[in-house]
Homo-oligomer: A and B are copies of this chain.
Amino acid sequence: MAAAPVWSVDPRTGKRREQVAVEATAAEVEAAVRAAHDARGALADRRVRAALLRRAADLLDGAGERIVEAADAESALGPGRLTGELSRTTYQLRAFADVVEEGAFLDVLIDHADPGLTPPRPDLRRYKIPLGVVAVYAASNFPLAFSVPGGDTASALAAGCPVVVKAHPDHPATSELSAALLRRAANEVGLPSGVIGLVHGFEAGVELVRHPLVAAAGFTGSVRGGRALYDAAAARPHPIPFHGELGSLNPVVVTEAAADERAEQIGTGLAGSMTLGTGQFCVKPGLVLAPRGPAGDRLERSLTEAVSNTEAGVLLDHRMRDAFLDGVRERAALPDVQAPVTPGAGGEHTVSAGFLTVPAARLAEDGGTHDLLLEECFGPVTVLARYTDDAEIGAVLARLPGNLTATLQLGAAECAGGDAGTGASGGGTGTVAATGGTGRGARLLAALTPLAGRVLVNGWPTGVAVAPAQHHGGPYPATTSTATSVGGTAVERWLRPVAYQDTPPALLPPELREDNPLNLPRRVDGRPER
C-alpha cells in the first residue's frame, strides 16, 4: 500500500498547493517515539532546556517572513494576525525559558528528619521530574501558537519532556518548517533531533496516544476528536494524563445597567470579538445574554450594524466551512430563532459573519429543545439570547456546559459593588465561589465562576494573554483536566513528584542538596525558605 500523501491546501481556493509529506506508518510513529524516548537524558539539564527554548525563539523570529508566508498560504489567517501569532509564540518560548531557569516549578520541598516525633520522621526531599515523551496534537486555528512550536511543545520541553507532535492537516507545510527550525535549535545547543518528532495522519495520531512509551498528551481541537483521544488514553493498559482543550461556548452576560450605559460599545465590542479571525477562536463569545427592552435593543442594533460591516472571511478549510454553514442553518431553523444578520456563504470560498437571536426562556426549556444553541459553532456567529429577568439568566446558566471563559458586562455601580439588587444564582455543578461583597456584580461573578476557567469583567474573551497568572482551561468540555495550556503553570502538566527518603547527601540530585547549589526556591520543614 502506497503511503497516503499529505497535501498543503490553499483554503482561499480549495486547491492543493504541494505535497508536503506522507502520513506516518505505525513504524514511523514507533521510530519518532523511540527517538524522543532516547533523547530524554539529553534534556535533563535545565540550562540546556532554557538554551533550546531561546534558540528556537530566535530561529523562528529569524525565519519570520517565511513562516508567516507558509502559514498564510495554508490557513488564510492573514499576515497581520500570523505575524502577531509568531510573536506570541516566540514570546512564549522565551517565557518558558525563564520558568525553567527560575526553577520554582520543580516544587522543591524538604523536610528534615525529626527523631523526636512519634513515629520518628525520616528526611524527605521532594521535587518534580519530567514524565517522559509527550504527544502534542496541534490545533487547526493556531498554526504556530498552538501547533508545532506552540505552548504544549514549549511547556513540555521546559519540563524536560521530548515531544512528538501530530501535525494538524490544515497546515502541514508550516508544521514541517517549524519542526525543522526547532530541530536545528536542538542541534545547535547540542541536543539530538529526537527531542522534537513530527508525524502526519489521523491514524498516526491514534497510534501515538496508544504508544507505551508516550507518557502524556496535550491536545487542542474539537470535542469529537479530543474525546476520542481522551478515551484512548484512558483505555490504555497504563492510562496517561490527557490534557485536552475541546470546546467552549464562552457565555457573556450583559446586565441591564451595562446595556443602559454602554449598549453601542458592547455591541461593537462583541462584533469585533466574535468575528476576530473569522470567528475561529476557541474563546469566541458564542452566547450572549442581553436584556429585553430598549437598552438591549440598542445593543442589538449596534451589533447588527457592526456585524453587517464585517468583511467575509475564509475559514481554515472547506470541511469547516461546510460544518459552519450546516451548523448555522440548523440553529436558525429552531423555533423563535431570528437572524438579524444571517451568517452564511460569502463567495465560493468565504463565509460572512452573522448572529442569531432567541428568547432566553427557550434556552432553559425542559427537554432541551434549544440545546444546540448551547454548543459551540466554530466560525463567525454568535447567539444573542434576550432575557426578561434574573431568573432567566440563572436558568440558562444552570444548563451550560463547562467553558474556557465567562464574561460579565456590568454597569458602573455594579462594578463598584454598590448595587444590592437581586442577582442570579445557579450554574455549574462544582464550585461555590466567594467573590467580594454582596452586590449584584459580585453575585453574578460568583454565578459565572463555576462555569469557566477565566472570568472577565467588561472585556472580551478573545486574546489570551501569555502571562504567569493566565489560566486557559475550564470544566469539561473546555478541558479534560484541571490544567492550563497557556501561562507559566502549563509546565505542571508534564511533571510528577518524587520524594527521596533518607538519601545520602552524596547521591542526591543537586536540586535537593542541603546547600541548594542551584539556588532554587524551596519550602523547608513546611515553610518557604525565603
Contact = CB atoms under 8 A, between A and B. Distances in A.
Interface in A25-54: 37, 40-41, 44-45
Given A124-B469, A507-B417, A502 B445 contact: no
Interface stretch (A11-19, A128-136, A290-298, A375-383): A128-136
A433 B469 contact: no
Interface in A498-530: 498-510, 513, 521, 523, 525-526, 528
A480 B458 CA distance: 41
A126 B125 CA distance: 28
Nearest to A453: B498
Contacts of A449: 129, 498
Contacts of A131: 430-431, 482
Given A429-B213, A468-B523, A496-B482, A417 B453 contact: no
B431 A132 contact: yes
Contact of A471 (B37, B126, B418): B126
Contacts of A495: 482
Contacts of A111: 465, 467-470
A37 B506 CA distance: 50
A316 interface: no
Contacts of A430: 130-132, 215, 496
Which size bracket describes the interface of A in this complex? Answer: 35 or more
Nearest to A466: B121
B437 A506 contact: yes
A234 B475 CA distance: 14
B436 A513 contact: yes
B468 A507 contact: no
Given A465-B119, A469-B110, A509-B436, A501 B456 contact: yes
Nearest to A481: B241
A457 B109 contact: no
B506 A132 contact: no
A476 interface: yes
Contacts of A241: 481-482
Interface in A408-467: 410, 415-418, 429-437, 439, 441-442, 445, 449, 452-459, 463, 465, 467
A143 interface: no
A310 interface: no
Interface string A221-263: 0000000001100110011010000000000000000000000
A84 interface: yes
A162 to B, nearest CB: 10
Contacts of A521: 528
B118 A441 contact: no
Contact of A402 (B238, B441, B457, B484): B238
A87 interface: yes
Contacts of A476: 238-239
Nearest to A107: B489
Contact of A504 (B415, B503, B523): B415
Count this chain's copies in the assembly.
2
A122 interface: yes
Contact of A124 (B465, B477, B497): B465
A499 B482 contact: no
Residue among A234, A415, A452, A495 with the most chain B CB within 10 A? A234
A454 B501 contact: yes
A434 B517 CA distance: 15
Nearest to A501: B456
A340 interface: no
B84 A459 contact: no
A249 to B, nearest CB: 14
A172 interface: no
A169 interface: no
Given A119-B84, A121-B467, A415-B506, A432 B402 contact: no
Nearest to A458: B502
B238 A230 contact: no
Nearest to A227: B239
B126 A469 contact: yes
Given A213-B429, A429-B215, A432-B41, A469 B109 contact: yes
A107 to B, nearest CB: 8
Contacts of A505: 436
Given A436-B507, A468-B526, 16 more contacts: A44-B433, A104-B523, A109-B469, A126-B469, A129-B431, A132-B431, A212-B429, A238-B476, A238-B477, A436-B509, A442-B506, A453-B499, A455-B498, A458-B502, A459-B502, A469-B499
Q: Which 6 A-B pairs have the closest CB atoms?
A: A417-B506, A132-B430, A234-B234, A109-B469, A471-B499, A482-B496
